[in-house]
Structure 1
Amino acid sequence: MPKLTTVLRTLALPVAALIAVAAGGPAQARPEPKAPAQFTALHDVDPTIIQEIRYITPHNFTGAPIDGYRKPMCILTRPAAEALHRVQTGLLSRGYSLKVYDCYRPQRAVDNFVAWAEDLNDQSMKPEFYPHVDKTRLFDDGYIAAKSGHSRGSTMDLTVVRLPATPTRPYRPGETLEPCYGPQDQRFPDNSIDMGTGFDCFDTLAHTLDPRIQGVQLADRLLLKNAMEAQGFTNLPEEWWHYTLNGEPFPDTYFDFPIDRRSLSS
């Protein structure tokens, strides 16, 4: 028979504590997944590549920071980061630099995109990012999908900047939005060379070799395309900014560790 003092102590416990005792102890927070050892911070491989990570800011097609982006940093598989370093070396010799908008993207961020696309009432960023696209068409037209190559760690969104680079001014939530396909001096300012549209422009003009893109704009797209392909990357034809490393180390694995240096192996 238990001692009287033990019984009294048990009766005095808060209800939450009694539930925890009955369940075998306090609930433990589920640990965040970690990146495999083959992943690295791009800055550790090449600190000269400019990073302007858009999805940690509200300046993206959803109008809000995206789940899983905890630090404004580019994480990639090491082979992708090293190949990007080789691209950068060639561009630096010509007076240019790469600038990455997005690299590895956790699955939770992709899920965030899907949830946003299903909310037809949220169209706050339509005037800039998808002026000509009905939001009900985002899945059918391929702008939003339940899986992204970014989650495999060897895909990145990027552009080219002429050196010396002037930083892009911050986006001010609530400011007047201009169409992403407008003339360079009218759309949201970006220190990129003129690619014909802004980043993440949901419009056919963003197709890398759209025949309406000519002159300087076409030359600028080809500058990026040729430099990336020379180091083993393949462009997604529908997005001039989107490249994936050929022979990527995780072609069938979609990761969900958050973007934070603590996610990387020490």
Structure 2
Amino acid sequence: MAPPPEPIVSPVLQKAVLDYDTTLWTELKAEDGYVIDIKYATKDNFVKEVIYPCGRMFLRPNVAVALAKVNADLLPKGYKLKLFDGYRPRPAQQKLWDKVPDRNYVAPPSEGSMHNRGVALDLTLADLQGKEIDMGTTYDFFGPRAHRDFQELPEQILKHRQLLRSAMEANGFQSIRTEWWHYSFTKGSYPLDDWQWACPD
């Protein structure tokens, strides 16, 4: 008589231990389909200093969901999003304000910005291989060429700026006049925050 078959044991699903409150934040990663390049975790930024202790990016959960829809809309067109900055703790905002105390470009820490609420982000387009698309200026360029409605640029650059803007606005984001790369989510309200993410050992 053959022995009874071994019982089928369902695999145990192990959830990764996360180091942040997922009811408040969502972390955006390259495996989510983005190109991640957190400029303020390097010296490659307008203050030429490291502002963040490490290059992680967070948004409020509903903002992250909306951004994923933007990325999904762009993929069939041959593009995806490259992300430079998202949630920014207020102490980091203070460092930027100390360098550029100009309300046209940096919000005063006493009032805070949409970045400090986790509902704003800085981004651009990349091709499907991750190569950054020319948008007419570098990120954090201060001057008229970076303004949303500046028209004295090659037609292809203007088309790329409009493509990004249309995709973002279709999913609940709005731009600002002086920075083609900056968008804020318009649905919902969140307080200013000082939370600082942990860095891997």
Asked if Structure 1 and Structure 2 have the same fold, meaning a TM-score greater than 0.5 normalized by the shorter chain, the answer is: yes
Partner residue in 2 for 1:53 = 38
Superimposed CA distance per residue, residues 211-256 of structure 1 (whole angstroms, 9 cap, x where no aligned partner): 2234011001001000111111101121100001111331xx2111
Task: Verify the 8 A CA contact 1:49 1:98 in the aligned structure 2.
Answer: yes
- The whole-number CA distance in structure 2 between the counterparts of 1:260 and 1:211 is 42
| TM-score, scaled to structure 1 | 0.63
Task: Verify the 8 A CA contact 2:105 2:178 in the aligned structure 1.
Answer: no
- The whole-number CA distance in structure 2 between the counterparts of 1:209 and 1:260 is 38
- The whole-number CA distance in structure 2 between the counterparts of 1:35 and 1:241 is 28
Give the strand-richer structure, 1 or 2: 2
Larger radius of gyration: 1
Structure 1: gaps spanning 5 or more residues: 1-33, 118-137, 166-190
Confirm whether residue 108 of structure 1 aligns to residue 91 of structure 2.
yes
Task: Verify the 8 A CA contact 1:83 1:231 in the aligned structure 2.
Answer: yes
| TM-score, scaled to structure 2 | 0.82
Task: Verify the 8 A CA contact 1:41 1:73 in the aligned structure 2.
Answer: yes
Structure 2: gaps spanning 5 or more residues: 1-19
1:150-169 correspondence runs (5 A): 150-165=115-130
Confirm whether residue 243 of structure 1 aligns to residue 183 of structure 2.
yes
Identity of aligned pairs, percent?
A: 34
Task: Verify the 8 A CA contact 1:41 1:261 in the aligned structure 2.
Answer: no
Compared with structure 1, are the counterparts of its residues 55 and 71 closer, same or farther at alpha carbon in structure 2 (3 Å cutoff)?
same
- In the alignment, residue 193 of structure 2 is paired with which amino acid? F
1:1-266 correspondence runs (5 A): 37-43=23-29, 47-66=32-51, 69-117=52-100, 138-139=101-102, 142-146=104-108, 147-165=112-130, 191-250=131-190, 253-260=191-198
Shift of 1:261: 6.8
Number of residue pairs aligned between Structure 1 and Structure 2: 178
Task: Verify the 8 A CA contact 2:71 2:80 in the aligned structure 1.
Answer: yes
- The whole-number CA distance in structure 1 between the counterparts of 2:198 and 2:177 is 30
